[in-house]
Amino acid sequence: MYSKCGSMDNTFMVFNKKPNPNLTSWNIMITWLAKNGLGEDAIDLFNEFKKAGLKPDGQMFIGVFHACSVLEDTTEGLLHFESMSKDYGIVPTIDHYVSVVDMLGSTGYLEEALEFIEKMPLMSIFRKP
């Protein structure tokens, strides 16, 4: 509720009172920090999450891509996309690809977004032999 209203201070207060925040709590914090324009805080929290020895899930990366979009840091976003499968064994879904395309497009990297789309494994079924 607090995060949807833009009150991230209150959101942090609730989050910090949880003795052992679960994966959903971390996901919500990272996603809503990004949605409220606090991309750097979202990435910092993601790094804190990883330093705690916790393993992200696919949903968390969607929030991370949004944070990178807010920061206009497509390089970091693409590194996170690569680390999904390489470091965590997460197979990207269409939602991940859409998030990366949105990140690239919203930061003005339209050519890169088109190239990313054309290289998507899912697009191979639409290519002519």
Residue range 115-125, pLDDT digits in tens: 999 888 865 54
Domains, the chain, in order of start with CATH, read 8-126 (1.25.40.10)
What b/e readout covers 22-48, taking b as 16+ CB neighbours within 10 angstroms? eeeebbbbbbbbbbbebbebbbebbee
Q: Which residue has the tokens 């690809």?
A: 97
Report pLDDT digits (tens) over 10-47: 777 888 888 888 999 999 999 989 998 999 999 999 99
What b/e readout covers 63-76, taking b as 16+ CB neighbours within 10 angstroms? bbbbbbbbbebbeb
Q: Cβ distance 69 to 107 under 8 Å?
A: yes
